[in-house]
A and B are shown apart, each in its own frame.
Chain A
C-alpha cells in the first residue's frame, strides 16, 4: 500500500500519528485533571488504550502480514490471566503499584508471545481460510482452558489445579478461580501507564514495518511465491509477526484486567476477537492510525448511544455500515478531501508548523 511512497513520507506520516496520539493524550489528561471530563470518560480511558493496542497488534497480523486471525482475544486472555497471576504475586513482595504493573505487563506479554509462538509453529504452515479457522479454534481452546484452570495462593505457596479445585489453606485466596475468572484484582492500571505501553508498541510496530524485516513481511503478503524465490524464510517471518502481535495483545490484556476488579474467561470470547477485527477493518488494513481511531470511537460509541436505550445496538450497527460505505465511496471521499483542502487554505501553514513542533 505504501510501498511506492518514499521512506521520508512514510516516516512523516508515522510521526503525525504518534504526535496526534500524544496530543490527544495530553488534552485528555489536562481535561481529566481539571475535572472536566465525566466519570464515564475517565473510566473508559484505560480500556480504550487496551483496545487501541489490541487493534494495532491485530493490524500487524492482518494488515501487514496479510493473514486473517480470528482468535486474537485468546492472546488477550493469556495476557490478562497471566498478568493478573504475576501481578498478584508481585504484590506480595512489592508495594509499588507501577512496578507490579510493569512486571505484570512484561510477564503477560511474554506469556502471550510464548502462546503465539507455540500456536504459530503448527498453524502458520496453513494459509488463508484454514489459518483463520485454526486461530478461531485457538481462541476457543484458550477460553476453555482458563475455564478449568484454578490457581490458589496461600502460606504454602502456589497451588495449581485443572478441573479440580486445589485445596488451599484458610488464609489463602484463589487468584484464578476457573469459570469465575480472577476476582479481587487490585485496580492499579492508570491512563498514563496504559498510554505509555500503547505508545511504545506503536513505535515498535512502525520501526518494524520500516525495517528490513518489515519489508520482507510485506513482500510475503504481496506475493508469497516471489518472496520465497528470493530467499525469504516464510515460516520465520510469520512466526515473528505472530509472536510480536501476540505479545502486544497480551500486554493489552494485562492492562485491561488490572483496570477491573474482575475478569472472566468468557470476556475474551469469539465476539471480542471479531470486535477487534472490526476495529482493524474499519480503520483500514495496514493503517495503524485508522486502527487507533476506529478502536477509540467504537469503544466510546455504544456508551454515547445510551440515549437510544434499547435501540442502541441497532444504531451502532447502522453507524458501522454508514462508516464502511462512506470510507469506500469515491464521491464522499472527494467531497471530504475538497472540504479539507478548503479548510487548509483558510488556516494554511500555521497548523502544519504547530504539528511539526510537537513531533520534533
Chain B
C-alpha cells in the first residue's frame, strides 16, 4: 500500500511537470493574425448562449478573413458557466498569447475574467455579460449588450409606455446574478413610473422544475402581465405550466429569453404571443441581418439568436477599431489595449444589434432596445 502511494506521488509530480512543459510547445502559432479569444459555456445548462456567441464570432471572423487585409484568429474555450472554470479557460487563452479578449459570455464568469484581463492589460469586449460589476472600475472592459440596469428599467419603461399590462407579476431566480440584477432595477423603475406590481415570487436552481406556486400567486392576484427576467430554460417550463393551468396572461421577457425557440423538445406554440426585449431580431429586413442569418442557417442549421448577433458585432467592432487604430498582429496585447480603449470611447458603430452604438468610458454601450413578440414561431418587431 505504502509503495503504491509512492508511485502515485511520483505520478502526480511527473504529471504536473508534463502538463507544465506541454504548454510550452504550443505558445506560438505565428500566422500573422491577430488572436482573439473568449470563454463561454460550450457545455452544460447555459450551452446555448456560449455556442451561439462562438458561432456568431466565427462567421464574423470568416467574413473578415475572406476580405483579405487584416486577419483574425479566433479561439473559444469552455467555461461551463462557472467563474473558476472561466479563469482556467482564460489562462489557456493567455498561454495561447491572446491579444484581444471577447471576455466571457455569461455574467458571473465574466466578472472573474474581467478582473484577469484588467490585471493583464488585455482589451476585452464581452458580447453578453450584462452586469455592471463586469465593467465597474475597469477601463479596458467593454460590453456589447445592455447592462442589467438598462434592461430592467428599459423593460419597465416599455411596459408602462405601451401600456402592455395594468397588474404586473414578477417571477425571478433569486440565486442568479443576471435575474436578480434585472429584477432590482425593474422594481425601482416600476415604483417610479407607478406600475402596479401585484405579485413577486422567486425560485432557485433547486426549485426550477415546478412553478405552480409562483403562477398561482400571479393568477390569484389577477396579474395580466408576467415579467420573466430569466434565462429561457426556466421560462419554457413556466409557459408550459401556465398553459396547463389555463392561465394566459401576457408574458414579457428580457434577452435571456432569447433562445427559447431553439430549445430542443420545446413546443414553440407555447411561446406564441410572448414579448421580449432584445436588440436583435432574425427577421429584420436589412441587408446585414439577412446575410448573417442566411450564413448562420446554412452553416449551423438554426436561426441565430441575440447572443450570436452580439458576438458577431463584437468581432466587427474590434475589426473597425483595429483598422482605425492601425493595429498589427505583432503588437503586444498591452499596446493593442491602449489603442482599443481610445478607439472604442470615440467611435460610432453600426451593427446587427443597433445603429450608432457608442461606448462610454465606463464600458457600457448605448443603443436602443427593440421590443419583439413571438408570432408563428418567429420574432416580429413590436413597433
Contact = CB atoms under 8 A, between A and B. Distances in A.
Interface of A: 13, 20, 23-24, 27-28, 31, 36-44, 47, 140, 143-144, 147-148, 165, 178-181, 183-184, 187, 260-267, 269, 287, 289-290, 293, 296-297, 300, 302-304, 306, 309-310, 312-313, 327, 333, 336-337, 339-341, 344
Nearest to A28: B16
Q: Classify chain B's interface size.
A: 35 or more
B184 interface: yes
Contacts of A344: 3
A13 B2 CA distance: 8
Interface in B7-26: 7-9, 12-13, 15-17, 19-24
Closest 7 A/B residue pairs (Cβ):
A261-B115, A38-B23, A180-B177, A39-B91, A43-B91, A262-B111, A37-B20
A199 B84 CA distance: 23
A313 B91 contact: no
Interface stretch (B130-138, B246-254, B337-345, B348-356): B130-138
Nearest to A43: B91
A290 B9 CA distance: 9
Contact of B115 (A148, A181, A187): A187
A287 B19 CA distance: 26
Contact of A38 (B82, B91, B115, B173): B91
A326 B180 CA distance: 46
A23 B15 CA distance: 15
Contacts of A327: 4
A260 B84 CA distance: 7
A313 B114 CA distance: 26
A269 B82 CA distance: 12
A337 B206 CA distance: 46
A207 to B, nearest CB: 21
B3 A265 contact: no
Given A38-B91, A184-B136, A306 B3 contact: no
Contacts of A13: 2
Given A41-B23, A313-B43, 11 more contacts: A31-B20, A180-B181, A181-B108, A184-B133, A184-B136, A264-B175, A306-B77, A336-B4, A336-B7, A337-B4, A340-B6
Given A140-B206, A147-B174, A266-B175, A303 B133 contact: no
B163 interface: no
A28 B20 CA distance: 9
17 contacts: A27-B13, A38-B19, A38-B22, A39-B92, A41-B20, A44-B91, A165-B184, A179-B175, A184-B133, A261-B111, A262-B115, A287-B5, A297-B12, A297-B15, A303-B92, A306-B77, A313-B43
B92 A293 contact: no
Contacts of A187: 115, 119
B176 interface: yes
Nearest to A310: B43
B174 A178 contact: yes
B88 A303 contact: yes
B19 A266 contact: no
Nearest to A333: B4
B112 to A, nearest CB: 5
B83 interface: yes
B63 interface: no
Interface string B9-51: 1001101110111111000000000000000001100000000
Nearest to A32: B20
Interface in B119-140: 119, 131, 133, 136-137
A292 B206 CA distance: 31
A97 to B, nearest CB: 14
Contacts of B91: 38-40, 42-44
B7 A262 contact: no
Given A184-B137, A261-B112, A36 B94 contact: no
A81 B175 CA distance: 15
A303 B17 CA distance: 15
B87 A180 contact: no
Contact of B16 (A41, A179, A181): A41
Contacts of B4: 327, 333, 336-337, 340
B131 to A, nearest CB: 7
A303 B87 CA distance: 11
Given A306-B77, A336-B7, A43 B83 contact: no
Interface in B67-101: 77-78, 82-85, 87-88, 90-92, 94-95
